[in-house]
């Protein structure tokens, strides 16, 4: 009898050990600490009851989109969910403006639990966006991996201070590489301006959502982007001149530029490649009416190679400009070393004295290197390309038209004198 009991106990222990070893490592340990982290921040304030998205309420469209995102979550991404305005239904602003809650912790996702938590949400209270963003930053922690917050809201913050734009600037200045993307379910100018400001301050994106498919598709795209570092903007601190500029490669880079400041970056371009660069400067605060953005490519000898510029007047959110510069293929026996090209980004934004100068305006620089044309002269240095042919045609046409007009004028004068 004793032997039988001991044998049964041994079999049970063996089965338990086998069951434990059969569990996949990812299930036991979850995603590694350096894996990407994303927190979805959902506005559940009272205005989310509005039924203006494909005949459905804003909250139900958001819940359906969350379900799709949770089902399509890429392996290795740690996801969390935070709400604002979901708990307090009363009129006391002091209480309502503290209403933000972490609905699901950042980490490995149990799909059933996460979707059940989202399904229980009902539009309730206020819109403390600034406080929710600060809390989301703490939720993500700083234990490695990319950090992204995706804010879904249908209105501007009604609880400031803290102003959500100021909060976004503070979080960007902390140097923890937090990106905030914003999705707007309402389309008034004030909401759009605030969401663009929040996104621009951290190198994120703003998207205006009008249909259910747009919301779910954009949410999935942003969550996937957290796993694709090439598509995720990377911070880069430009130099004050070409010699002190940091060397960057291809990709999207974010920086900040004070009013009147020039930022420099170095790019290595091999023979046979074409450099393409585009810079965007976000006016995330009040600026004066006239402004412009300049992007220049300069050789290591200080000679300007090509430039691109754009200017405007009146209200703006983003001003962009770009350029293209091809490097010819090396001849046989010639120098085939990569050429150093310095990119200068500057803007002519100005602002009233009452506007904050720090931190500077958000800059996004996109750099790509592609196969260049077989003959670099086919691409004019200042971006006209084969437009030179059109320019010559127009010039010749103008010359001929001028000669004909002059001849006709002289003929009319002669006829008038004869009569």
213-234 in b/e form (b: 16+ CB < 10 A) is ebbbbbbbebbbbbbeeeebbe
Q: Which residue has the tokens 């010639």?
A: 334
Which helix (H) or strand (E) is 359 found in, with range?
Answer: none
Q: Judging by DSSP bridges, how do beta strands 251-257 and 304-313 pair with one another? A: unpaired
d(CA 56, CA 61): 7
- Number of domains composing the chain: 2
Residue 5 phi/psi, 5° resolution? -65, -45
The per-residue pLDDT for 389 is 53
One domain for residues 369 and 288: yes
In a domain, 389, yes or no: no
Predicted confidence at residue 337, as pLDDT, reads 85
Helix ranges restricted to H, 141-186: 164-173
Query: CATH code at 172?
Result: 3.40.50.410
215, 343: one domain = no
Say whether both 168 and 38 belong to one domain: yes
123: in domain: yes
Task: Give the count of beta carbons closer than 10 Å to the beta carbon of residue 75.
Answer: 8
Per this entry, what is the length of the chain?
Answer: 419
Residue in 250, 325, 307, 312 with CA at minimum distance from that of residue 281: 312
Listing DSSP states for 225-256 in one string gives HTT-TTTS-EE---BSSSTTPPB--SEEEEEE
For residue 195, the surrounding DSSP H or E stretch is helix 189-201
| Residue whose C-alpha is closest to residue 361's, from 288, 282, 417 | 282
Q: Residues 254, 190: one domain? A: no
The first and second tokens of residue 12, run together, are 């049970």
Q: What residues make up the domain containing 98?
A: 32-225
Same-domain pairing of 168 and 241? no
The separation between CA 355 and the C-alpha centre of its own chain, rounded to angstroms, equals: 24
The residue whose two tokens read 């010699």 is 243
Same domain? For 248 and 188 the reply is no
Instruction: Return the DSSP state at 271.
Output: T
Distance CA 26, CA 76 (A): 9
- 85, 128 contact by CB (below 8 A): yes
Q: Does any domain span residue 369? A: yes
Domain assignment of residue 343, yes or no: yes
126-137: per-residue pLDDT in tens? Answer: 999 999 999 999
Kindly state the tokens that stand for 366: 């996109």
CATH number (domain holding residue 286): 2.60.120.380
Q: Given this model, what pLDDT does residue 419 score?
A: 60
Mean pLDDT on 396-417: 71
294 and 176 within one domain: no
In a domain, residue 241? The reply is yes
Instruction: For Cα atoms 257, 262, 267, give the angle at the middle one, nearest 5 degrees.
Output: 100
| End-to-end CA, the chain | 142
Q: Is the pTM of this model over 0.85?
A: no
| Assigned domain for 108 exists | yes
pLDDT, tens digit, for every residue of 4-53? Answer: 444 344 434 433 443 443 333 333 456 677 789 999 999 999 999 999 99
**Average pLDDT value for residue range 114-139:** 95
Q: State the average pLDDT over residues 372-379.
A: 58
Parallel/antiparallel/unpaired status of strands 339-347 and 361-371 = unpaired
Q: Which pLDDT tens digit goes with each residue over 314-364?
A: 766 677 888 889 988 876 666 678 899 999 999 999 988 888 888 888 888
Cα 217 to Cα 233: distance, rounded to the nearest angstrom: 20
């Amino acid at each position: 009898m004793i032997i039988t009991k001991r044998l049964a106990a041994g079999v049970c222990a063996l089965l338990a050990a086998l069951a434990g070893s059969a569990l996949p490592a990812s299930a036991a340990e979850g995603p590694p600490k350096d894996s990407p982290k994303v927190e979805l921040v959902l506005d559940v304030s009272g205005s989310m009851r509005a039924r203006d998205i494909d005949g459905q309420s804003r909250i139900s469209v958001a819940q359906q989109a969350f379900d799709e995102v949770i089902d399509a979550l890429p392996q290795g991404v740690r996801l969390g969910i935070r709400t604002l305005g979901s708990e307090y239904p009363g009129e006391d602003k002091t209480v309502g403006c503290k209403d933000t809650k972490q609905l699901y912790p950042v980490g490995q996702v149990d799909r059933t639990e996460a979707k059940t938590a989202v399904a229980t949400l009902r539009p309730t209270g206020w819109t403390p966006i600034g406080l929710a963003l600060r809390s989301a930053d703490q939720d993500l922690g700083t234990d490695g991996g990319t950090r992204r917050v995706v804010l879904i809201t249908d209105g501007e913050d009604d609880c400031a201070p803290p102003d959500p734009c100021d909060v976004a600037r503070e979080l960007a200045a902390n140097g923890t590489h937090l990106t905030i993307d914003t999705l707007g379910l309402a389309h008034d100018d004030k909401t759009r301006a605030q969401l663009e400001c929040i996104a621009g301050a951290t190198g994120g994106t703003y998207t205006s959502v009008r249909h259910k498919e747009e919301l779910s598709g954009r949410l999935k795209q942003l969550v996937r982007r957290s796993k694709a570092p090439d598509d995720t903007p990377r911070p880069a601190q430009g130099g004050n001149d070409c010699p002190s500029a940091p060397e960057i490669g291809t990709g999207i880079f974010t920086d900040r530029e004070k009013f009147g400041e020039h930022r420099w970056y170095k790019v290595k371009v091999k023979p046979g490649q074409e450099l393409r660069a585009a810079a965007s400067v976000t006016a995330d605060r009040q600026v004066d009416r006239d402004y412009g953005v300049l992007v220049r490519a300069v050789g290591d000898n200080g000679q300007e190679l090509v430039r691109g510029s754009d200017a405007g007047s009146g209200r703006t959110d983003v001003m962009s400009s770009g350029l293209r510069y091809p490097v010819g293929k090396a001849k046989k026996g010639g120098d085939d070393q990569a050429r150093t090209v310095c990119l200068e980004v500057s803007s002519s934004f100005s602002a009233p004295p009452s506007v904050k100068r720090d931190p500077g305006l958000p800059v996004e620089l996109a750099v790509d290197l592609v196969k260049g044309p077989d003959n670099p002269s086919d691409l004019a240095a200042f971006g006209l390309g084969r437009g030179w042919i059109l320019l010559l045609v127009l010039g010749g046409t103008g010359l001929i038209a001028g000669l004909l007009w002059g001849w006709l004028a002289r003929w009319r004068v002669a006829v008038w004198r004869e009569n």
